[in-house]
Amino acid sequence: MKYLNRFLYFSFIIVAALTFSVNAQTTKHSANKVALDGYCPVAYQAMNKALKGNPKYSSTYEGKTYQFAAEKAKVMFDKDPAKYLPKYDGYCATAMSMGKKLKSNPKLFTFYKDHTYLFSNKKAKMMFDKNPAMFVEKADKKFAALDKK
């Protein structure tokens, strides 16, 4: 009986630990589905601002959930999602011009020729802003090549 109690006790501990681990991973995985770290993709274009979205106003597009600063922004996005999505799947535009996928900071952006471009840091944004046409041309080619892999 003593060994049975120990076995049951350790079995309970193992099951509890596994359950906690699975729940933590599921929560983390769900949180990763929110695109742009929760920033509103419409605000970049409509207001030239990086605004945090509200989970109350959200839409899912191509497996990613986007949050919006207001209901009007959600309606605008829902009519034409591709219009508001940052180029290069939201990766840093300057890094993409070098063929690298680098996570961007959604607070750092430039709106150029009807598109939103995001950057990993202030220096990358500054470089892009000095000659956006050159960076866009290079990044478009590199992104197309990476997309084919």
Pairwise CA distance, residues 141 & 143, whole Å: 6
For residue 25, being part of any structural domain is answered with no
Q: Which of 66, 82, 98 represents a domain boundary (last residue)?
A: 82
Range of the domain at 140: 86-149
Q: Which of 82, 104, 121 represents a domain boundary (last residue)?
A: 82
Q: pLDDT grade, residue 3 (50/70/90)? A: low
Predicted TM-score (pTM) of the model is: 0.77
Q: Are residues 107 and 147 in the same domain?
A: yes
Our separate counts of H helices and E strands in the chain read 7, 4
- pLDDT tens sequence across 32-84: 489 999 999 999 999 999 999 999 999 999 999 999 999 999 999 999 999 99
Residues whose CB falls within 8 Å of the CB of residue 11, separated by 6 or more in sequence, listed in order: none
- pLDDT tens sequence across 87-124: 999 999 999 999 999 999 999 999 999 999 999 999 99
For the cut 60, the answer to whether the pLDDT of residue 17 exceeds it is no
Residue with tokens 């084919």: 148
